[in-house]
Amino acid sequence: MTQQTPASHPGVFDVELVLRQARAYLAFGEQVRLFTDRLGETAQADWGQALQQHFTQLKTAIAQSAENPAINPELARLWLLMADTWSETATALGMDTETIPDTLRQTEAWRAYQHTQSDYFSQLQDTATEALDLMEQRLNELVAAGKTVSSLRELYNLWVDCNEQTYGRMLRSTAYSELNGRLFNALLRCYSRPEAQS
């Protein structure tokens, strides 16, 4: 049985919440800087093609960091925001993958949870990839409309919009509702007594 959890009694604001997202934003900025650097070397006539080519490189950099966060942990954090949020929640419930006992690690319930969590993260990653595709499409539409993006923050906000749009679509799908239920249930089964698992 859980006691009143510490997270339920917030005291002083956790500055780390801001610092983590700020570092992720700066990592995003660094990738965009590389992207615009290459784009700046492109002749104006080839701009559309260059956008596609360099944006593909930007997507690859972000995707690689997601698959292996060690490559660029801050950039990965931007991409894996929702996965991080879930991991922190699981940790708050005592499911810290670093500290769980070996006896639990060897159970079928733990393996099932790992499998479901992997499905969940994979779903998030697919959605984030869709968001980058959408962002590329939006940028092309801006170009076609003769509009300009003139700051890093505008690009970041566009990235957020695109992620919210693709994520929101996923969130409202029947498949996600089922996956969300499976994720919770799998986590709980790692802790539950046999009679509670019906």
Partner 1 sequence: MISLTADQIAAEIEAFSHRLQQGARTLASVGEIETGVSPRELIYQEDKLTLYRYQPQVEKLHSIPLLIVYALVNRPYMMDLQEDRSMIRGLLDAGLDVYLIDWGYPDAGDRTLTLVDYVQRYIGHCVDVVRDRHGVDALNLLGVCQGGALSLCYTALYPERIRNLITMVTPVDFHTPDNVLTHLLRHVNVDLLVDTLGNVPGALLNFAFLSLSPFRLAGQKYVDLVDIFDDAQALKNFLRMEKWIFDSPDQAGEAFRQFAKDFFQQNKLVKGEVMIGDRRVNLHEVVMPVLNVYAAQDHLVPPAASRALAKCCGSRDYSELSFRGGHIGIYVSSRAQREVPPAIAAWLLAR
Closest among 126, 119, 138 to 63, alpha carbons compared: 126
Report the alpha-carbon distance of residue 15 to residue 25 in Å, rounded.
16
Min dist CB 124 to partner 1, Å, is 9
Residue 100 contacts partner 1 per CB under 8 A: no
Give the interface segment with partner 1, choosing from 59-67, 98-106, 107-115, 140-148 (CB under 8 A). Answer: 140-148
Quick check: 194 binds partner 1 (CB under 8 A)? no
Binding mask 106-125 for partner 1 (x = CB under 8 A): --------------------
Half-sphere exposure of 44 (CA within 13 A, CB side): 1
Kindly identify the residues of this chain, within the stretch 22-51, that bind partner 1 according to CB under 8 A. 22, 24-26, 29-30, 32-34, 36-37, 39-40, 47, 51
Query: Cα(68)–Cα(153) distance, rounded to whole angstroms?
Result: 26
Taking residues 143 to 162 in sequence order and writing x for each that binds partner 1 by CB under 8 A, - otherwise, the string is x--xxxxxxxx-xxx--x--
What span, in angstroms and rounded, lies between the C-alpha atoms of 50 and 45?
9
The position carrying tokens 């699981």 is: 90
Q: How far is the CB of 154 from partner 1 (least distance, A)?
A: 9
Among 9, 70, 99, 108, binds partner 1 (CB under 8 A): 9
**Subset of residues 53 to 82 that bind partner 1, contact rule: CB under 8 A:** 78, 81-82
Among 13, 45, 70, 99, binds partner 1 (CB under 8 A): 13
Please tell me whether residue 2 binds partner 1 under the rule CB under 8 A: yes
| Rounded-to-integer distance, Cα 149 and Cα 13, Å | 34
Least Å from the CB of residue 105 to partner 1: 18
Our measurement of the distance from residue 42's CA atom to the centroid of its chain's CA atoms, rounded to an integer in Å, reads 31
- Sign for the CA dihedral angle at 185, 122, 173, 82 comes to positive
Closest CA to 104 of 192, 185, 1, 195: 192
The nearer residue to partner 1, 2 or 106, going by C-beta atoms, is 2
168 binds partner 1 (CB under 8 A): yes
Contacts of 134 (CB under 8 A, 6+ apart): 162, 165, 166
Using CB under 8 A, pick the residue from 95, 109, 118, 193 that binds partner 1. Answer: 193
